[in-house]
Structure 1
């Protein structure tokens, strides 16, 4: 697990959280431009940045079952 500097980020959610492995986390970066406001971190030290609109699309797709096939195959 790589420690990430999340100074200045607003924590929104931790995905999993049942272990101490550096679970993916969702943050908002109030200092970032609108198209990079959302930050998702992983336990490998990587970050994904996206807009709130892109996050809304991702959440809507998940709610509509777009990811169900991927999870069933896993």
Structure 2
């Protein structure tokens, strides 16, 4: 599955070892501040959030709050 990623700045690809349309993380410099961070999944969906929201998610992951969910 391909995503329309034109204009997005790639940050990370999660997996990347297949051709299944791996989840990806982007920055959308043209988006409003509350939608600048973009996560795409391998089903063609996307989630947009602010940099502050994404920073909170990363902090929670680093602090172990997401451990055990997978």
Q: Do they fold alike, i.e. is TM over 0.5?
A: yes
Aligned residue runs from structure 1 range 1-74, under 5 A? 2-71=1-70
**What stretches of structure 1 move > 4 A for 4+ residues in a row?**
none
Tell me, which stretches of 5 or more residues in structure 1 are unaligned? none
Scaled by the length of structure 1, the TM-score of the pair is 0.90
Scaled by the length of structure 2, the TM-score of the pair is 0.95
User: Matched residue of 1:68: which SS?
Assistant: coil
Aligned residues: 70
Asked which structure has the greater CA Rg, the reply is 1
Structure 1 residue 18, shift from structure 2 partner: 1.6
Name the structure where helix makes up a greater proportion of residues. Answer: 1
The Cα RMSD (Å) is: 0.7
